[in-house]
Every structure is written in structure tokens, then in C-alpha cells.
Amino acid sequence: MTVPVLNATNVTKSLGGTPIIGGLTLSAEQGEFISVVGPSGCGKTTLLTCLSGLRNVDAGEVSFEGQKLDGPPDGMALIFQDYSRSLLPWRRNVDNVLFGMRRMTGVSAQEKRAKAMEMLAAVGLSKFETHFPWQVSGGMQQRVAIARALAARPHLLLLDEPLAAVDAQTRADIQDLLLSLARQFQKTCLLVTHDVDEAIYMADRVIVLSNRPTHVIADLQVPLPKPRDQIATRSEPEFLRLREKVLTLIRSMRTAA
């Protein structure tokens, strides 16, 4: 068997004395698209900061491509929930994308720039490269953040509720954009969301998290045909069955809490 891209074993993490993550185990195989759903405040963002090496875990272990994590590794990129603040307002969109390419060494400035433009084109923003992020809409800002993450040439993309703050139409557009980019660039993706429909629509596998201190309570395959389609996929019996199952799990936690 091949080494999983990401492997978290029995991870425990407290913040300010409050246990947030309690013995969580998950792994991601090469090329998989995984959704992680959990109730608001259960520790999803905290989990991503641990999986990305931004925070150390208290107990357990996180390894990336077989290497135990010690700080943010090369080959992983994060897309934050708070995209409008994660973009740097003093940099134009193309320079924000270039910001993500620090680890790319041995490449001329010109080539880097060309690559950054290419990434902006891939998210449909060729005409906005010299705009500042605050001059474009929220959906476009999130696209810039996606281009920046892809420009870092990660093997693994971690996404923290990237679409929670955009309107429904934009959300659907960016969902499909993400799916096609993930396929085109053969990325392994881990998408955190509290939106059950989005979790199922996007993923090969859905992981359901418990309340705090959070751990995995279900790990479900999503045997839906690909490429996904906003209308057809969402009306598949299998989609509805999974949706009911995940919602039931989440509701049972709410009553338990």
C-alpha cells in the first residue's frame, strides 16, 4: 500500500485549557477529495491549523507524505475561511499570487510572473491581475486565494470553509471550479465545511466530526458519478441517502450536546 498523503493519528489539542480536538484519526490518499463536516465551533479550523503544521499537536501525530510534521511543510497550501483578510491589500492580485510562490526557487522572476498569470487565468481572472483585492468582489477574492494556493504547487490543498461567505450562485460556480482544478492539477484536497450538501457534492469521502472535543464519528464513501453536476448530482438517490445519514448524525449530536 502507498503512503497516505496526510495521516493524523490520535490527535489531541487544547487551546487555553479547553480541549478542542480529542483523539482524532484520519488519513487522505493521493488524489482523494475529502470533505470534513462538523457543527460550528467544533474545532474544524483548529484541526486544519494542526494538519497544516501551523500549530503543534498536544498528543498524537500528524504526518505529511510520510514525514512527521514540524511546522508548515513544502507541498501543502491552505485556503482560509477569512479570505478577504488573508489576501494582502497592498499587493495587486497577481502579486498576491506571487506571494504564494516563495518556495519556488531557481525560477526567474519573469517565469514566476508568467506562472502567476497562468494561475489567475485558470480561475478566470485574467482581466483582474492588476486590480487590488479590495477592488474586486468577494467571489473574485476567493478565486485569487485559490490561484495563490495553486501557484504554490501543493500536493495537498486544505480548504477552510472557503465558500461560507459568498452568495449561492457564486458558491456553486466556485465549487465546480474547485472540482475541475483539483482534477486538472491532480490535487489531493481536504475541504472543511459545515454545509452538508456541499460536503457530499464535492467529495469522494465525507468525514463527520463530533462536538468538542472533536473526533471522527463517521467516515463515508461517496459513490456518486463524476464529474459532478449541480442539478443531476444533487438529485441522485445516493446523494439524498447520504445527506439524510449525515444530517441525522449531526442532529443526534445536537440533541446530545
Partner 1 sequence: MLSLLRGSLSILGFLALWEIAARSGLVPTDYFPAPLLVGETLVAEIGRGEIVSAFVATFLRALIGATAASLLAIAMALLAARYAIVRRAFDPIAEFLRPLPPAALVPLAIFFLGLGWKLYGFILVFACFWPVYLNAAQALAATPRVQVETARSFGYGDWAILAHVRLPAALPTIFIGVRMAASIGLIAAIAAEMIAGRDGLGFYLMDAGLSLRVPETFAGLVAAMVAGLLINALVMVLRALTIGWHVQLTRMEAGA
Ligand X SMILES: Nc1ncnc2c1ncn2[C@@H]1O[C@H](COP(=O)(O)OP(=O)(O)O)[C@@H](O)[C@H]1O
Rule CB under 8 A: is residue 106 a binding residue for partner 1?
no
Rule CB under 8 A: is residue 100 a binding residue for partner 1?
yes
Counting residues that bind partner 1 (by CB under 8 A) gives: 26
Q: How far is the CB of 27 from partner 1 (least distance, A)?
A: 20
* First-last CA distance in the chain: 39
Q: How far is the CB of 49 from ligand X (least distance, A)?
A: 8
Rule CB under 5 A: is residue 45 a binding residue for Mg ion?
yes
List Cβ<8 Å contacts ≥24 apart for 60-64. Answer: 60/8, 60/9, 60/10, 60/11, 60/12, 60/23, 60/24, 60/25, 61/7, 61/8, 61/9, 61/10, 61/11, 62/6, 62/7, 62/8, 62/9, 62/11, 63/6, 63/7, 64/5, 64/6, 64/7, 64/156
Among 132, 204, 216, 218, binds partner 1 (CB under 8 A): 132
Among 61, 82, 167, 244, binds partner 1 (CB under 8 A): 82
162 binding partner (options partner 1, ligand X, Mg ion, none; Cβ < 5 to 8 Å by kind): none
Which stretches of the chain bind ligand X, using CB under 6 A?
15-16, 18, 20, 38, 40-46
Q: How far is the CB of 257 from Mg ion (least distance, A)?
A: 18
